[in-house]
Amino acid sequence: MTSPNEMQASQRPFFEIASSDFARLTAHIDCHDIDGKTILVSGATGFFGAWILALFEWLRKTRNMQFRVLAISRDPQSFKRKHPWVADAEWLQWIVGDIQDFVFPEQSVDYVIHAATDTSAAAGRSPALLLNSIVRGTERILACAKACGAKRVLLVSSGGAYGGQSVDTPRLLESSRNAPSTMEVGSAYGEGKRVMELLGAIHAHENACEVVIARCFAFVGAGLPLDGHFAIGNFIRDALTQDQIVIRGDGKGVRSYLYAADLAVWLNHLLLNGRNRGIYNVGSDHEVTIAELARQVIATLAPAKTVIVEGASNSPGAGNRYIPSIDEARSELGLDVWTALPQAILNTALWSSKNS
């Protein structure tokens, strides 16, 4: 296993990690209809966006493909300082602006990836603003897709659109009729994503454009915030910097994590090959409890350290679940969980030790 000191010595930059990942996943990467195309990407400087751009950069370097990416961002300069590998990318053109009012590009667009949503805890504390930003941002991106003649749009939605998962439901299915409660202000994010999906269906119905929905769950990889509300990010941070990982609750909650490189490959497949007006869960179905996750992080990064579960209880009963079924993506598109969780944790730590 790798110790924190060894981690510091072997820390690696973002694109070096991503390139190694994509080389490992090369047999699963579909780029049959990217060459010569123009792709508009919103949320280009977020966690998802960085990995999407990294995949495009890797394709340019290894496949000698010619395409153009138009990336929407409020602050591309900040992103370029963190990611110097895009600083001089000739294939990348920035559109500076907010997703709700950005200026449409003058050139035509073939594909659109809409991945712009604020998922921070701070955003959740302003539910009306969050809901409005999701809906208005989607309206704006779809209007842009229409004006620029886009033929396919990938809308990055969320498993939050299901509104929760009962403990006796092993995995959430795309056919599930679950929905967030309209009387809970915490439903703003999930309801916003449902409206996003409906707007996408209307756009596909009214225009010569195919729309695909990616309902995304939980992920890990370089660029994931280590000081936010993501348990796995906090665990990796603590394994690198603290004497122990402390879980305030009972640790019984059940989650699963798809590695970011796998995620980027999935999203690219859905953009090119997803069924029109199809909904696909995007995530891992390899479940782990929060307590088991913390122990997995410790075992991978710092086996001499310990995990403390402050709310540990011997009482029966399962914790809350957030696990997708990915059978739809497997059977239709051949997608799968290709990167094991220990490798995903290690790669995230190799980057975060450099940037923490």
User: Is 199 in contact with 138 (CB distance < 8 Å)?
Assistant: yes
Q: Does some domain include residue 279?
A: yes
pLDDT digits (tens), the chain, 356 positions: 555 555 554 578 999 999 999 999 999 999 889 999 999 999 999 999 999 999 999 999 999 899 999 999 999 999 999 999 999 899 999 999 999 999 999 999 999 999 998 766 566 689 999 999 999 999 999 999 999 999 999 999 999 999 989 888 999 999 998 999 999 999 999 999 999 999 999 999 999 999 999 999 999 999 999 887 889 999 999 999 999 999 998 999 999 999 999 999 999 999 999 999 999 999 999 999 999 999 999 999 999 999 999 877 766 555 689 999 999 999 999 999 999 999 999 999 999 755 64
Q: Does some domain include residue 181?
A: yes
Q: Does some domain include residue 22?
A: yes
How many domains does the chain divide into? 1
What is the DSSP track for 217-255? --EESTT--SSSS-HHHHHHHHHHHSSEEEESS-S--EE
Instruction: State which residues form the domain around 109.
Output: 4-219+260-284+323-339
Q: Strand, helix or coil at 289?
A: strand
DSSP secondary structure code for residue 188 in this structure: H
CA dihedral for 78, 5, 227, 160, sign (positive or negative): positive
* CATH number, domain containing residue 56: 3.40.50.720
pTM over 0.85: yes
